[in-house]
Amino acid sequence: MTIDSPGPTEAIRPDAVPTAAQSPAPGSTADPGPRAVPAWRSLAMRAAPFAGWIVTLALAAQLAQGAYGQLTESERSVGMFEAIGYPASAVLLIGVLQAVAVVLYVVPWTAFLGGLLLTAYLGGAVSAHIRMEDSVAHALTPVLYAVAVWAALFLRSERIRWAVLTGR
């Protein structure tokens, strides 16, 4: 990528397509310049952030509901933690950590950090399900949530899309 080529936040102009007279000769190594963006890709680039935010808000609502149960130390949350083997005093601490991770995930400037923290939290949930010898479906549910967390970040963040797709 050269300095003149468009970066992740620069739009590729459709009117900048070289004509036959401007295009380099076959076998030439000259840079052909910017390319036109197909209509479907332009639509996908505009729709991706909306889809990402829809998935983000759905995940945040689910995870915030769980954090609320832990922050209020509901009987269900305390019972689940005791069944896993954690003391009842850990419910509030883990609820605070989950709530902070959800807030960081929803705020655009800290979404990457929130995604990392939610992935760690969900990894602990997988560990707890394996420790309880739950079914595979119960153990894989947090994995699917973690995949959805990163898929939503991929869709809503142009920087993350660019880094993943270009490897930089």
State the pLDDT at residue 31.
63
The pLDDT tens digits for 106-135 are 999 999 999 999 999 999 999 998 988 888
pTM of the full structure: 0.73
State the pLDDT at residue 84.
85
Question: How far apart are the C-alpha atoms of 37 and 66, rounded to whole Å?
Answer: 42
Tokens 């560990």 belong to 127
The pLDDT tens digits for 64-88 are 999 999 999 999 999 988 888 888 8
Structure tokens at 107: 């705020």
| Residue 43 CB burial class (10 angstroms; 0-12, 13-18, ≥19) | exposed
